[in-house]
Amino acid sequence: MSVVLTELSDRILTVTINRPEKLNALNGEVVEGLRSAFHGAKSNGDVGAVILTGAGEKAFVAGADIATFRELTPISARDYARRGQVVLDLIETLGKPVIAAINGFALGGGCEVAMACSIRVASKNARLGQPEVNLGLIPGYAGTQRLARLVGKGRALELILTAEPITADEAHRIGLVNRVVEPGELTATCRDMAKKILSKAPIAVRHALEAVNHGLEMPFDEAELFEATLFGLCVASEDMKEGVAAFLEKRPAKFSGK
């Protein structure tokens, strides 16, 4: 059985990290499986949105596979961190919404994977954190960067320095997750959210993702210019004409993705 499973239905690709006996810890095979799944999702026109989750009831991902850390050297550790960062960048810049369905522990690399997603929905029993300092390490899949951008420097440093996991409700309070739901409602909530986004103009959705993801890394005035350019590009789409016409004609829009 593969360590990363994919299933496509209704234009939603569900990617499931499948090592439940090790709480879906990320080893090289899982990272490569994620790269391959998201690479495929990017180029597959039948995929409109992705839901990323973990197999079993206990964990989304309980972190990088600690068993593999014994063999690391400074050089291989740097390569290891870069490989993971590149895969998480691929998730973040997919051009399609990616929803993390956090069904349990999201620790270390698991929290970092979730943060690379566009939106995070957590089940009430989820626990999130960056416990790397317990192991004499720091986050290496861009956790120091994405966490500070998502929740602010002070809260990011508290999570990273104390290594204490937080509950889903606390993660919601500080803005680390978008929603908290009962475990039995997690899949349906994520699918409803994906379907809602899929009903919108696809080019506008792609440009909105790009404006936020890339714009946040630019000086404000350059980001404004970038946003204005993408706004202008949207006007070239048939979907923009359809969306405006549908509103004025008081009917639902029929978007073609062109």
Contacts with ligand COA by CB under 6 A lie at 22-23, 25, 62-67, 105, 107-109, 131-132, 134-135
Closer of 134 and 256 to ligand COA (Cβ):
134
Q: Check: CB of residue 177 under 8 Å from CB of residue 120.
A: yes
Query: Do 12 and 191 touch, CB atoms closer than 8 A?
Result: yes
173/162 Cα distance (integer angstroms): 18
By beta-carbon proximity to ligand COA, the closer residue of 131 and 202 is: 131
CB 117 within 8 A of CB 91: yes
Q: Which is nearer to ligand COA, 125 or 213 (CB)?
A: 125
The active-site residue, picked from 29, 57, 132, 238, is 132
* Cα(25)–Cα(253) distance, integer angstroms: 43
User: Is 112 among the catalytic positions?
Assistant: yes
Least spacing, CB of residue 75 vs ligand COA, in Å: 19
Give min distance, CB of 185 to ligand COA, in A. 23
Indicate which residue of 112, 158, 217, 224 is catalytic. Answer: 112
Per the annotation, the verdict on 164 as an active-site residue is no
The helix (run of H) or strand (run of E) holding residue 76 is helix 74-92
Which two tokens mark 197?
A: 């986004």
The minimum distance between CB 124 and ligand COA, in angstroms, equals 17
30 neighbors 19 (Cβ within 8 angstroms): yes
Smallest gap from Cβ 119 to ligand COA, in A, equals 23
CA distance 130 to 151: 13
Closer by beta carbon to ligand COA, 97 or else 131: 131
Contact 24, 54 (CB under 8 A): yes
The token pair at 188 is: 């349906």
Report the catalytic residues: 112, 132
